[in-house]
Amino acid sequence: MVLKTIEMDLQYQGIIAAPPIAQDQLYKQACSNDAITITSWRDIWLKQIKANLETYGDFKAKGIGQLAGKWAYKPGIAVGSGPSLKKNALLLKDRGDMLAVSCTHNFAFLEDIGVAPDFYLTLDAGPITISELTEGGKEKPEWYWERTKNHKLLAFIGTDPEFLKRWQGEIFFYNAPVPDQSYVEELEKIVTFNEYISTGGNALGSCVYAAKAILGANPIAFLGADFSFSYTSKFHSWDSQYDKMNKGVIWTLDVYGNKVHTWPSYHNFKLFMDYIAVRVPGQYYNCTEGGTLGAYLEGNIVQIRPMDFADFLKGYKLHEEFIGKCLNTDQRMLVY
């Protein structure tokens, strides 16, 4: 049997003024899994922070604070690992001096297509991050780890020590706030390191905060921020271990108004990013070209405007087209 590809003319939903959920409820839902996460990981975080401190010494000497304001007054791009990334990742080559911060899960995919973000970022503390860095790659894992020498990493101080050992490029450390007083007290016994990134429990949230609040970029464009499976049940832009892990999923709507399924945890991550866009001043563009970021039954919120990535880039490159016309006396200047 031959399966036919279905062509769909996708149009973004209309714009609404704000999420149709009260801000306090939005935040409460986004953080609903915090207690379980803290209970499961607190001892691992503390153990690995202590181990990394012994290996790298003073975190502040290589803290993310050294990068403060380095991309001030310039656009930034937060690159997630959703299935829509394959639609527009190549355009990152044409971003000029725009900042790009990517989750490390994209490493093999981006390396294979010749795209180099300014920074990679890792948040998760589990050893799964090691296999994820090379997942979907065309080369052997060792090839990708050797290539890390060409890249810079923003790393949570509780990152798996083995991951940091394998990373060969420059590392800048950050801390992540944990809303648990006993954890805070235990951490203070190990180290005081106040260069924090608010994460929302996910690496892409960390990328956004690092790009905007630390590096100073604005506006922020999202790529690969699906927070959902694709229409063909893919969770990433490559064949991954997560594609068949579709138990316990829920249905929600994407930016085109179509039904997609996701995990409750990832829906919470999406709600956190919606909350940040409403509360934190700045401009946000969803250039994912798919997924659920900013999307509701009533429409897409104005605080995260959906836009194709090519159109976002064009807005910063229009002068090239005009100058080309002006300097070419055989053509009339293009006027919109």
pLDDT at position 333 is 53
- Taking the C-alpha atoms of residue 259 and residue 105, their distance in angstroms, rounded to an integer, is 26
Looking at residue 19, its amino acid is P
pLDDT tier at 331 (50, 70, 90 boundaries)? low
Residues of the chain with pLDDT > 70: what percent? Answer: 94
- The per-residue pLDDT of the chain, averaged, comes to 93
pLDDT at position 1 is 42
**4: pLDDT strictly greater than 50:** no
**pTM for this predicted structure:** 0.93
Read off φ and ψ for residue 261, nearest 5 degrees. Answer: -110, 155
Which among 312, 293, 221 is positioned nearest to 253, based on CA atoms?
293
pLDDT tier at 132 (50, 70, 90 boundaries)? very high
- Taking the C-alpha atoms of residue 251 and residue 273, their distance in angstroms, rounded to an integer, is 19
Task: Provide the H-helix boundaries in the chain.
Answer: 23-30, 34-56, 85-88, 107-112, 128-134, 141-147, 161-166, 181-190, 203-209, 264-279, 309-327
Which among 333, 299, 336, 293 is positioned nearest to 315, based on CA atoms?
336
**7: pLDDT strictly greater than 90:** no
pLDDT tier at 326 (50, 70, 90 boundaries)? low
Which among 196, 218, 195 is positioned nearest to 280, based on CA atoms?
218
DSSP state, residue 13: P
pLDDT at position 3 is 43
Read off φ and ψ for residue 296, nearest 5 degrees. Answer: -140, 170
Question: For residue 90, what are its two tokens?
Answer: 């190549």
Poorest-confidence range of 95-109, 191-205, 278-292, 310-324?
310-324
pLDDT at position 327 is 65
Poorest-confidence range of 21-30, 88-97, 99-108, 221-230?
21-30
Q: Mark residue 291 as left, alpha or beta (left: phi above 0; alpha: psi -120 to 50; beta: remaining).
A: left
pLDDT at position 200 is 86
Q: Tell which wins on pLDDT, 246 or 59.
A: 59
Looking at residue 108, its amino acid is A
Bridge partner residues of 250 (DSSP): 262
**2: pLDDT strictly greater than 50:** no
Note the pLDDT tens digit of each residue in 301-324. 999 999 999 999 999 988 887 776
pLDDT tier at 33 (50, 70, 90 boundaries)? confident
pLDDT at position 152 is 98
Q: Quick one: average pLDDT of 221-237? A: 96
Note the pLDDT tens digit of each residue in 143-160. 999 999 999 999 999 999
Rounded (5°) CA angle 271-274-279: 125
Q: What is the DSSP string of 163-200?
A: HHHH--S-EEEEB---S-HHHHHHHHHH-----B---T
pLDDT at position 324 is 64
Identify how many contiguous H helices and E strands the chain contains and give both numbers: 11, 13
Distances, alpha carbon 120 to alpha carbons 5, 19, 241, in Å: 34, 30, 21
